[in-house]
Amino acid sequence: MTATEFTPWASLAGGVLIGASAVLLLLVTGRIAGISGIVRRLLPPYGASAPLEAAAFVVGLLVAPLAWTLATGEAVKQTVTDSLSLAIVAGLLVGAGVFAARGCTSGHGVCGLARLSWRSIAATAIFMTTAAATVYVVRHVVGGWPWA
């Protein structure tokens, strides 16, 4: 487990950027800034609408760490699990889950709550609960695995 510092102002400012991005995307393209939906539009069986816009959004995301380092002179701080098997299991669960739920933290958690969608409110309440429960079981019941 890696200790992290409480960063209310940076987190609030980062949230403001995320919200502004979602408003910009809706204003220009008329679509919700849901990352899982955007990724899905780039994958087989293809044929989804506006794939170029989806690809451009993902390119923007991928450029962000470089832009961050150029702008601040700092590396992006993160601690990622060393366990590849854990990463794969988690990735499969996240992929299957967001496919079925048609949205993730961005599409349901931010955009859906912002427009008071009942589906999104229900989805967010559930994934927050199962995520917290998972961390509780891993850290306080099983006693923790050697990551983060």
Q: Scanning residues 65 to 124, which ones bind other proteins (CB under 8 A)?
A: 65-68, 76-84, 86-102, 104-106, 108-111, 113-119, 122-124
Q: How far is 110 from 120, CA to CA, in rounded Å? A: 9
- When the beta carbons of 73 and 81 are compared against other proteins, the nearer one is 81
- Burial, 7: exposed, middle or buried (Cβ in 10 Å; 0-12, 13-18, 19+)? exposed
Q: Give the residue with the Cβ less far from other proteins, 3 or 73.
A: 3
Give how far Cα 105 sits from Cα of 67, 73, 74, 129, Å: 23, 29, 26, 13
Residues 36 and 107: beta-carbon distance below 8 Å: yes
CB of 69 to other proteins, least distance (A): 9
Q: CB 102 → other proteins: shortest distance, Å?
A: 7
CA distance 96 to 113: 22
Residue in 2, 70, 142, 143 binding other proteins, rule: CB under 8 A: 2
Q: Which string of x and - marks every residue 4-43 that binds other proteins (by CB under 8 A)?
A: xxxxxxxxxxxxxxxxxxxxxxxxxxxxxx-xx--xx--x
**Binding status of residue 62 toward other proteins by CB under 8 A:** yes
Alpha-carbon separation of residue 33 from 18, 23, 25 (angstroms)? 9, 8, 7
- Least distance to other proteins from the beta carbon of 73, Å? 14
CB of 143 to other proteins, least distance (A): 12
Q: Does 146 bind other proteins (CB under 8 A)?
A: no
